[in-house]
Amino acid sequence: MTSKTDTLEVHSSTDIVLIRQAVRKWTAELGFSLVDQTKMITAASELARNALEYGGGGEVRFEQLEKSGRRGLRLTFEDHGPGIPDIEQALTDGFTTGQGMGLGLSGSRRLVNEFEIASTVGEGTRVTITRWK
């Protein structure tokens, strides 16, 4: 059951800083350990940067979750950019279409408990990550 939501825009590097700060605040309020806070902040930062650099910007939706007495945070990053033609290739360590190290998607997937990606060429990409306390 979702008890709290919010949405932030991703249109500049300043927005990425604001998203990192918001993730820190949400994870701290949910009682995440410092290590788990850092993992979620790192994943969010990578995915926000991807949305900005490759998707031309977008938004991230924050959802506080509670399920069977566990609390969690779900972040959904969505852009309306060119999309990803080959998701499996994009999730391969070292694959990049830009100047990065190619660890954004695959690295983010390793930092969270749940990871979903959907992309349609010409329409955009949606990445949803969840971390449970």
- pLDDT tens profile 88-129: 888 887 666 655 554 578 889 999 999 999 999 999 999 999
Q: Where are the beta strands (DSSP E) in 68-111?
A: 70-79
Report whether pLDDT(8) > 50. yes
* Ramachandran assignment for 17, one of left (phi > 0), alpha (psi -120 to 50 degrees), beta (any other): alpha
Residue 115, domain extent:
2-132
CATH number of the domain residue 124 falls in: 3.30.565.10
Q: How many residues make up the chain in this entry? A: 133
Instruction: Please give the model's pTM, rounded to 2 decimal places.
Output: 0.91
User: What's the total number of domains in the chain?
Assistant: 1
Measure the CA–CA gap between 62 and 4, rounded to whole angstroms. Answer: 8
